[in-house]
Structure 1
Amino acid sequence: MYIEQGYKGKLGIWKYFIIPILFFGLMTLNVLVTTLLGVDAESIIQQEIARKGSNRFLVEMLIPFAVFLAGLFFWVKYIHEQSIRSLTTSRKRVDWRRIFFAFTVWAGITLLVFFIDYFSNPQDYILQFDLPKFAVLAVIALLLIPLQTSFEEYFFRGYLMQGLGIITKNRWFPLVFTSVVFGLMHISNPEVGKLGPVIMIYYIGTGFFLGIITLMDEGLELAIGFHAANNLITALLVTSDWTAFQTHSVFKDVSLPTAGNEIFLTVLVLFPLLTLLFAKKYGWTNWKEKLTAKVIPPVKHTSEG
């Protein structure tokens, strides 16, 4: 079982508090500064992009996540003395085919949905393809975005899921906690200011979807593939002036920012259908046990002399 993989390291419950306190402390400080000082995140992003260019701004935005991922791996390997493989999956080796399958499926769905909307509402998009700038963007995105998304998966669905499961001795609490907190982590995104609190349904719903497929599949592979596809397509295909990713993408969305049916379509229709697809392909069973059962420490065998 995936959560029980955490027992393969040296526990020490205090070790599970250091990294979350540091990370959530940084996130909370960012929100407090933005709120208390009345900082307009969208204006700052626009100013920084105008001064540095969107490619450089994207690099500076993503580099911290690469550092966070390296720091998390170091902490797990040398403080917990747990293998990165056991943080990733309950299988004997990381299943890259699962990663690429989830990536391909979600990338395909995202492209299909986008082009349906593009041909239905062509006035909402501008073709802004610039090969030299896009080529640089593609290199940056392919190198750094998977590190950003992998950190979020390893931290929320990996480290926190295993740690909270071991501490609380159950599965439902880590699923609920990590899903809600994952959504709240995006509360300072410019999209929230433009679209309103309803967008949090999408962020928290995404957290639950990723948490469920992680527990059901006993590993992070599907979540890693999905998350990488989601952010890469966002960065490379379409951008707008009010999103966190503002890049030299192929298209620019110039429509008025609105949120509604597409959020509920994704959370209530696409995510359940994708979950059923994964369940069918990988033969998932015992849903109640995997999502809500107790976490039981492994029995330590002692030898009698």
Structure 2
Amino acid sequence: MKPQTQRYLDLAVPGYNAWWRYVLGALLIAGAWLGFGMVPYALLSGANIFDPRLDFIAINLSIFVMLGGLAVTMKWLHRRPLLSLITPGARIDWRRVWRGAAVWLAIAAALSVLEFLLFRDRFYLSFDAARFAPFLLLVLLLTPLQAATEELVFRGYAMQAFGRLTRDPAMIAILSSVVFTAPHLLNPEVHEHGVLLMAANYFAIGMLLATITLRDGRLELAVGLHAANNVFLALLVNYEGSALMTESIFTARELDPYYSLMALVGGALVFHWWVFRPARDVDYPRGGAV
């Protein structure tokens, strides 16, 4: 195990780590999401009002509630700060967040251009300035918070929990990716394309986020990547039948899960090479504050 990986997993050591605390913590987080987070979404859905902006707000609010459950769990069950899920340093390294976002945006854009060149009839221009402008504000405000919440739960909390059971980084990444995949199987794409194929897609992105977190020994790169991925899908290239319909500039007539899976695997390899190559231009400090 690399020193930075061990240092990140050991951020849990100063807290209370009995197995039942993690079980209860997982129940509190899931209960907050299912019990309270889904309330605004259910209310808006029951109002028979079709407005993508309201759906977008409701879905994001349902995820934000998980952050409240996580905060309670960390404070009262584990007696350690939320920052210990992010970094061994004294503060968040925002340069890492922006680097993860910028690198993945470049990769996602290249993969989308390649898909367009291979399947030209799949995409159409859906830009509507009057509808796009308010959505732009919502996406830039809510999506990074949504992505950060998921990273704190599925990479930060879950991986440090599994790190108390095993010190094998590969097993920790696999287990956390399985946990990440499970709630995403509720998405409508699963019914259209099948459980196994879509589970493979969700698992692949989960493994990418887990491995870069363990390799870097902190969470910021994953937060940046996740936020950039969701912003790209929401604003630039979404697809019909998406779990989160938005006013994107371009829309694909369908999701191609086979291309998506291959693109994720290829994109993951490029991201690891780009960010962790020995001769990278910027050398970020491993544990210090910025």
Q: TM-score, normalised by structure 2?
A: 0.82
CA distance in 1 between counterparts of 2:250 and 2:50 reads 21
Q: Counterparts in 2 of 1:221-236, with a 5 A limit?
A: 221-236=220-235
Q: Is the 8 A contact 2:127 2:248 kept in 1?
A: yes
1:68 is matched with 66
Amino acid at match of 1:198: L
Q: Where does 1:1-305 land on structure 2 (aligned, <5 Å)?
A: 1-24=7-30, 51-168=49-166, 170-196=168-194, 197-255=196-254, 257-267=255-265, 269-280=266-277, 281=280
Rounded to whole Å, the distance in 1 between the matches of 2:103 and 2:269 is 14
- Residue 3 of structure 2 corresponds to none
Distance (whole Å) between structure 1 residues aligned to residue 228 and residue 165 of structure 2: 32
- CA distance in 1 between partners of 2:259 and 2:165 (Å): 39
Question: AA paired with 1:222?
Answer: L
Alpha-carbon distance, 1:159 to partner: 0.8
Offset at residue 169 of structure 1 (A):
5.3
What letter is aligned with 1:10? Y
The DSSP-based 3-state class of the residue aligned with 2:147 is: helix
Q: Is the 8 A contact 1:65 1:147 kept in 2?
A: no
**Alpha-carbon offset, residue 25 of structure 1:** 6.2
Alpha-carbon distance in structure 2 between the residues aligned to 1:100 and 1:74: 28
Q: 1:151/1:234 Cα in 2 relative to 1: closer, same or farther (>3 Å)?
A: same
Work out which of the two has the higher radius of gyration on C-alpha atoms and give 1 or 2.
Answer: 1
| Distance across 2 between alignment mates of 1:49 and 1:279 | 49
Deviation at 1:86, TM superposition (A): 1.7
Cα distance 1:172–1:122, how it changes in 2: closer, same or farther (>3 A)?
closer
User: In the alignment, residue 225 of structure 1 is paired with which amino acid?
Assistant: G
CA distance, structure 1, for counterparts of residue 215 and residue 124 of structure 2: 41
Q: Distance in 1 between matches of 2:76 and 2:32?
A: 23
CA contact (8 A) 1:9 1:83 kept: no
Q: Deviation at 1:244? A: 0.8
CA contact (8 A) 2:33 2:63 kept: no
- Cα 1:49–1:127 shift into 2, 3 Å: farther
| Residue-by-residue CA offset, 1:11-60 (whole Å, 9 max, x unaligned) | 3432211231244568899xxxxxxxxxxxxxx9xx88972310111101
Deviates more, 1:63-72 or 1:94-103: 63-72
> Tell me, what secondary structure is at the counterpart of 2:155?
helix
Counterparts of 1:137 and 1:48, CA distance in 2: 22
Change (3 A) 1:231 1:50: farther
Cα distance in 2 for residues equivalent to 1:54 and 1:97: 33
Output the CA distance in 2 between the equivalents of 1:241 and 1:191. 10
Question: How has the CA–CA distance of structure 1 residues 72 and 105 changed in structure 2, closer, same or farther, with 3 Å as cutoff?
Answer: same
SS at match of 1:242: coil
**Cα distance 1:28–1:147, how it changes in 2: closer, same or farther (>3 A)?**
closer
Distance 1:240 1:48, change over 3 A: farther
Q: Cα distance, 1:68 vs. partner?
A: 1.2
Residue 65 of structure 1 and its aligned partner are, at CA, apart by 1.2
Contact 1:49 1:57 in 2 (8 A): no
Cα distance in 2, alignment partners of residues 8 and 199 from structure 1: 38
Change over 3 Å in CA distance of 1:172–1:108 after alignment to 2:
closer
* Matched position secondary structure for 1:51: coil
Looking at structure 1, the residues matched to 102 and 272 of structure 2 have their Cα atoms a distance apart, in angstroms, of: 15
Q: Please give the root-mean-square deviation of Cα atoms over the aligned residues, in Å.
A: 2.7
| Superposition deviation, residue 125 in structure 1 | 2.0
Between the aligned partners of 1:71 and 1:120, the Cα distance in structure 2 is 44
Q: In structure 2, do the counterparts of structure 1 residues 142 and 28 end up closer, same or farther at CA, with 3 Å as the change threshold? A: closer
Distance verdict in 2 for CA 1:62–1:27, change over 3 Å: closer
Q: Deviations over 1:77-130 (max 9, x none)?
A: 344221222210123432110110010111121122223333554432221212
